[in-house]
């Protein structure tokens, strides 16, 4: 797969080779990291671009109120990724260590337990969204038109929550087994399908916000089905062989495995929830500053999401490579991979930030913001270009912590970062002299605090000791 002349792979490998010439990365490790990272980065670009296109389509079809409504419903939809992502963090930690130790039965058990846990955790969320969508959106914004758009979107998109969670688990199984390419093809294809279906539903059938939500649900169902078929058969027509084949017959509620998944995944789930839940008070605070500010924030966050996609790849590459090394008891190699991935991630984020900064104004124009929202959005994007580089440090350092099972620290750092971000935004809303400056500082606090704390924890090496309690039973040298 890595021999494909893919421009994304070429870009990531080129950055890695440049760093290796500077003596910052080992050449062979740089290429291996790039081969795991670039498919996930492409997946992230596809999915975040899909989210951005959703907002742009809705904005063109129904205006600023629809952008605001979908933006408010967005954090609720994000619960799917908070819950599923937390469980999937446990999945990749267990699968990568067992893959490194060649423990096929352990991989099967980890995947079945992850699947069961996702279903149990997410189906109640679907029910709540279906029954209480209007009430949930009304908690954040009282504008009747905004509430109507947001509730319509949330009520429908809630049916995709379990499938989105299962897709995350399927993706982590493949990445933990040293194959990020197939995960990219499936999830990236899902994003492309989503955009195409949305265009038909929103504009062709005139379904507006409801069409955007339905397209998201349908695409997640298709991708979940592809993961299930490929993992249980060991291959997928048109895709090829999977790195592992999962036996679907067996225990799904093994207590020891579930306990490991929960102990590793719960702090990651909490970390994800911190970011998701923090958006609710943030949107409420910004609502007091006017609809143009809310719309600007929603658009800027979508652009931020695209800039942040290198972290998707490098975080998972680090988790996989560090986890595999830990699975064989090679803690020195695990640490080396961790340090080099942080450097690699920061350099790639710099490239992303520079490109977006150069074209910030035309990019913002694609979302058709109002005249009042446009300059605020552009300023937020410039600030995001600075903040996102620090995300490279934060996410890169969190990768080894996740791989080892030492996930509580990164949860705490994210909590403190988001708390600082909310306080600064609230200061801007409450004190006219501070105003939007508080929002700009909020963007910076969100990444600066976790970057400092996560790197400190990684540098202490404590995570290597934590990993010993999660490793498969005993390589001879462990």
Residue 447: both structure tokens together: 């990444």
pLDDT at position 471 is 63
**What pLDDT is attached to residue 451?**
93
- CA pair distance 14, 34, nearest whole angstrom: 9
- The DSSP letter of residue 178 is T
Which residue(s) pair with 235 in the sheet? 241
Domain contains 475: no
What's the pLDDT at 476? 40
Q: In whole angstroms, give the CA distance from residue 89 to residue 446.
A: 21
Kindly report, residue by residue over 226-259, the tens digit of the pLDDT. 999 999 988 888 888 888 888 888 888 888 888 8
Cβ–Cβ < 8 Å for 378, 360: yes
Q: How many CB atoms lie within 10 A of CB 307?
A: 23
pLDDT for the residue numbered 450: 92
What secondary structure does DSSP assign to 447-473, as a single string? HHHHHHHHHHHHHHTHHHHHHTTTSPS
For the chain, the domain total comes to 1
Q: Is 478 a member of any domain?
A: no
Q: Is residue 473 part of a domain?
A: no
Q: Give the tens place of pLDDT for each residue, 31-44.
A: 888 887 887 787 77
Q: What is the pLDDT of residue 218?
A: 92
Q: Name the average pLDDT for the chain.
A: 83
Output DSSP code: residue 431. -
In a domain, 88, yes or no: yes
- How far is Cα 411 from Cα 274, in angstroms, rounded to an integer? 8
Tokens 């490793």 label which residue?
Answer: 471
Query: Structure tokens of 111?
Result: 């995947």
2 in a domain, yes or no? no
Any idea what DSSP says for residue 159? G
| Cβ atoms 404, 322 nearer than 8 A | yes
CA dihedral 185, 310, 380, 161 (to 10 degrees): 40
Domain around 32: 7-466
Closest by CA position to 85, among listed 301, 243, 275, 249 = 275
CB 389 within 8 A of CB 342: no
For the record, the structure tokens of 333 come out as 């190699």
For the chain, which ranges sit under pLDDT 70? 1-6, 47, 50-51, 54, 60-63, 80, 275, 471-478
- CB 426 within 8 Å of CB 438: yes
């Amino acid at each position: 797969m890595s021999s494909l002349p893919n421009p994304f792979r070429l870009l990531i490998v080129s950055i890695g080779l440049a760093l290796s010439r500077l003596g910052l990365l080992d050449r062979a490790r740089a290429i291996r990291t790039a081969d795991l990272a670039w498919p996930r980065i492409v997946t992230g670009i596809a999915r975040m671009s899909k989210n951005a296109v959703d907002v742009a389509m809705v904005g063109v079809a129904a205006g600023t109120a629809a952008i605001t409504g979908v933006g408010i419903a967005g954090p609720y939809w994000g619960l799917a990724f908070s819950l599923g992502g937390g469980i999937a963090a446990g999945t990749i930690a267990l699968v990568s260590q067992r893959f490194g130790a060649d423990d096929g039965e352990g991989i099967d058990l980890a995947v079945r337990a992850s699947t069961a846990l996702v279903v149990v955790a997410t189906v109640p969320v679907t029910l709540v969204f279906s029954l209480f969508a209007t009430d949930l959106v009304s908690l954040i914004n009282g504008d009747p038109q905004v509430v109507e758009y947001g509730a319509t979107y949330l009520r429908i998109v809630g049916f995709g929550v379990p499938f989105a969670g299962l897709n995350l688990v399927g993706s982590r199984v493949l990445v933990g087994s040293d194959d990020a390419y197939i995960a990219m093809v499936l999830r990236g294809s899902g994003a492309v399908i989503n955009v195409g279906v949305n265009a038909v539903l929103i504009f062709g059938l005139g379904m507006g916000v409801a069409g955007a939500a339905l397209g998201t649900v349908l695409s997640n169902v298709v991708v979940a089905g592809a993961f299930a078929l490929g993992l249980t058969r060991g291959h997928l027509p048109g895709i090829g062989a999977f790195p592992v084949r999962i036996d679907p017959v067996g225990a799904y509620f093994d207590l020891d495995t579930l306990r490991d998944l929960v102990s590793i995944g719960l702090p990651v789930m909490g970390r994800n929830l911190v970011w998701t839940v923090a958006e609710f008070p943030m949107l409420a605070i910004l609502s007091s500053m006017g609809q143009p500010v809310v719309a600007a924030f929603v658009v800027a966050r979508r652009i931020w999401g695209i800039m942040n996609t290198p972290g998707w790849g490098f975080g998972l590459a680090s988790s996989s490579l560090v986890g595999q090394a830990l699975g064989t008891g090679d803690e020195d190699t695990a640490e080396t991979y961790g340090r080099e991935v942080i450097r690699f991630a920061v350099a790639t984020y710099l490239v992303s930030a520079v490109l977006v900064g150069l074209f910030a104004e035309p990019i913002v124009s694609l979302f058709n913001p109002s005249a009042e929202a446009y300059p605020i959005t552009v300023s937020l994007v410039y600030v995001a270009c600075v903040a996102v580089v620090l995300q490279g440090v934060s996410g890169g350092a969190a990768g080894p912590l996740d791989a080892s099972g030492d996930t509580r620290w990164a949860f705490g750092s994210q909590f403190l970062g988001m708390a600082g971000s909310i306080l600064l935004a609230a200061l801007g809303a409450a004190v006219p002299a501070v105003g939007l400056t508080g929002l700009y500082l909020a963007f910076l606090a969100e990444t600066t605090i976790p970057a400092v704390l996560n790197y400190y924890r990684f540098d202490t090496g404590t995570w290597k000791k934590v990993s010993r309690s999660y490793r498969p039973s005993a390589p001879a040298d462990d």
